[in-house]
Chains A and B, each alone.
Chain A
């Protein structure tokens, strides 16, 4: 079946460090891929998305490239800030059944 695997957290970095949060997926067909972010005490909100292979989603300095050959959608940011501390969820969408498949989430902690 379809699934999403994220690296386990928490991930702890210093301010201005480079961030990578790994996400790999298993899917039959051609899913759309998403990163959602959940700031402390809030609901989830869409961070970025990519709908086909080699697409790059970007927002707020974060980027992720849809890699079909490696079935990956890793989240990256060149210089993180304390305000980026949050839980990040990778997800895939299959329009065959209108369902979102979620990763378990990765908690990111940025220290000043």
Chain B
């Protein structure tokens, strides 16, 4: 299994540009999520999905859209990039069991918005 893959690894955008961060997993997990990681703030949940066709907002959803047309893919779209969106973005899929759960993270995408 490749686990959770993310592309691109690095991206530089100008303010106002749009782009899509790709995320895919091959573990057949229903639950996927997107986080952003900023210094001193840990991980903050942007959006999540509990299955194909179902998405919901997390803690910091503004400026981001998601869709989940398949179990495998969960892209994150920045509609009009802003410097405040400079961050490291992590996609994760989750295996839920009776006692709890384990998250599997992608390697991250480093985004710089100028």
Contact = CB atoms under 8 A, between A and B. Distances in A.
Contacts of A103: 42
Interface in A82-96: 89, 93, 95
Interface in B27-84: 31, 40-45, 50
A102 B43 contact: yes
Interface string B79-114: 000000000001010101001111101111000000
B41 A104 contact: yes
User: Chain B: interface secondary structure?
Assistant: strand
Contacts of A45: 105
Given A42-B107, A44-B90, A45-B105, A102 B100 contact: no
B50 A100 contact: no
Interface residues of B, number: 22
A98 B102 contact: no
A45 B92 CA distance: 10
A89 B105 contact: no
Contact of B102 (A46, A99, A102, A105): A46
A102 B106 CA distance: 17
Interface of A: 32, 34, 36, 42-46, 49, 51, 89, 93, 95, 98-100, 102-105
